[in-house]
Amino acid sequence: MSSRKLSEEHKAKLRAINLGRKVSSETREKLRKAHLGRVRSLEEREACSRGQSHRVPMTEKTRAKKRLVNSSPERRAFYRKLCSTPEHAEAIRKALVGKKRWWEEPRSEEIREKIAIAVSSARSRGCYTREMSSLHRRLRSYLLSLGMETKSEVRFGRYCVDEYDEKTHTAYEADGEYWHDEEYDRKRDAYLKREFDLTVVRFTEDSIVRELGAIGAPL
C-alpha cells in the first residue's frame, strides 16, 4: 500500500470536519495504544505545534463558564478529597523518588558567580533592598563612634558583608544567634580571604547586646 502526502488544503478540510467531533472512549484507547512508546521526530512535533493554532479560540463566555464550574464548592471538595487519599499521596511519592528538584541540583562556581553578579546589579537598581537589622544598626553605630567610615552591604563575589572599611580592607559582621551557622561562616570567610584577601571581624549577638548596647541607637 503506497502512502501519499496530503496537501495543505486537504488537511485543512479534514481539520474542519473533525473540529468539535466527540471521540468515543474505545477510539481514544485504540489511539493511545497505537501511539504508546512511539518517539516523534522534531518535524512531527513542530507540525503538531503548528496544528494547535488552527483550533477555534475559546470565547469569553466559555471561559467564564469554565471558571465558574472549577470554582464551585463541589468541585473544590472533590479535588480536596482526591488529593488527600493515601493512594494519591503514594502515587506522588513514587513519582518523585530519585528525582531532584531544581533547587537541589549542585551549582558550579560559574553559575554562582553569574547569580551573584545579577543580584548585585539588581541591588544597584534598588531591587532586593532589605531593612538593616537591629544588631547591624548597633554595630554600625559603634564603628562610627570610633571614627571609622564604613560602607554597608558591600558585595564581594557571591557574598555581601554588613560593614566594610576601605582603609583597612576589613569587613565587619553582626552574627545573630538564630540565623548564623558556624560551618557556613567558616567557608564564607575562607572564600573572602582566598578570593579578595579580605579580613572578616565578627561580633556575636551577645557581645553586641552587652558591650555595644549603650551606643546602639538606630540610625
Residue 93 in any domain: the answer is no
C-alpha cell at 96: 518523585
Residue 157 in any domain: the answer is yes
For residue 87, CA distances in Å to 30, 91, 96, 97, 110 come to 27, 6, 14, 15, 42
**Looking at residues 38-48, what average pLDDT do you find?**
69
Q: What is the CATH number of the domain that holds 158?
A: 3.40.960.10
Residue 61 in any domain: the answer is no
Residue 170 in any domain: the answer is yes
Provide the whole-model pTM. 0.44
Residue 203 in any domain: the answer is yes
Domain that holds residue 169: 131-215
**What tens digit of pLDDT does each residue of 154-182 get?**
888 878 899 999 999 999 999 887 767 78
CA–CA distance, 50 with 86 (Å, rounded to integer): 40
**Looking at residues 5-14, what average pLDDT do you find?**
80
Angle made by CA atoms 129, 130, 135, in degrees to the nearest 5: 145
Name 144's Cβ contacts closer than 8 Å, sequence gap at least 6. 150
pLDDT band at 65 (very low <50, low <70, confident <90, very high): confident
Given a contact cutoff of 8 angstroms between Cβ atoms, the answer to whether 212 and 138 are in contact is yes
Distance in angstroms between the alpha carbons of the first and the last residue of the chain: 86
At 131, the amino acid letter reads E
Residue 115 in any domain: the answer is no
Domain total in the chain: 1
**Looking at residues 74-98, what average pLDDT do you find?**
70
Please give the helix or strand (H or E) that residue 165 lies within, else none.
strand 159-165
- 160 forms bridges with which residues in the sheet? 155
**What tens digit of pLDDT does each residue of 117-153 get?**
777 777 666 555 566 788 888 899 889 988 998 998 8
